[in-house]
Amino acid sequence: MTLTDEYFDQIAQRLSAARQTTSEASARAVQAIVEAARNDGRVYVFGTGHSHVMAEEVHYRAGGLAVTVPVLAGPIMVHEGAVAGTVYERTTGIAAPILERYGIGSNDVMIVVSNSGINAAPVEAARFGKAAGAVVIALTSIAYSTAAAAAADGRTRIADIADIVLDNGSPPGDAVLSVPGSELKVAPVSTVIGAVILNAIFAEVSAALAQDGDAPIYRSANMPGASEHNARLVSKYRARNPHL
């Protein structure tokens, strides 16, 4: 079996497992997001390093909900300096100045994404969301964060703070394939599984909101009528989304 075949098999197996293990938490997440949307709330998505990809995954895209707001700040992402970003995400006091610009409140939901689950910035983000009265959802790896916390003398995990925990099922270290002739591993799984979990949740949210009337879903920019449709959504939701 090639590494390609093995990776596809790993993803398929882990997605099937995640479908089962996250079902109850996902249903609670759907309920919280639907309630927020019906109360004109927003869903803020925060992540550092590669976890910030989840914030971009749900932002202003075809088939995505306009109630989502990515939390984006260069220092804690990878494009302005990956090495420095790793230092920043572990630095106490980074999260609050970033989050204060978004006006997160009690009608909102905050999704904090962190695979290892223990770095200072995501932990502080989860606490910030709780203090603001938002429903906090953690998208993390329980296995990885438990191992990481134990290695760090019992450091607090985002899973310990959140109201709802979505376990992506990735192993400690994230990568799942052993390289022949090496002790190193490749092929991380957290991004793929995390994106599926979030998109599945937002699909259910969309179905619930559609029962109220027109769900605020973006259309692909290349489809007929998309420009006018999306412009109406941007006009409605831009005031609380600085990235539109």
Segments making up each domain of the chain, as ranges: 20-240
pLDDT for res 191: 97
Overall pTM > 0.85: yes
Q: What number is the average pLDDT over the span 12-41?
A: 97
What average pLDDT does the segment 142-163 reach?
A: 92
Provide the pLDDT for residue 126.
98
Each residue of 46-95: pLDDT tens digit?
A: 999 999 999 999 999 999 999 999 999 988 888 888 888 788 788 899 99
Q: Mean pLDDT over residues 96-111, rounded?
A: 97
CATH of domain 20-240: 3.40.50.10490
Check residue 154 and give its pLDDT.
80
Write out the two tokens for 181. Answer: 């002739």
pLDDT attached to residue 82: 87
How confident is residue 203, by pLDDT bands cut at 50, 70 and 90? very high
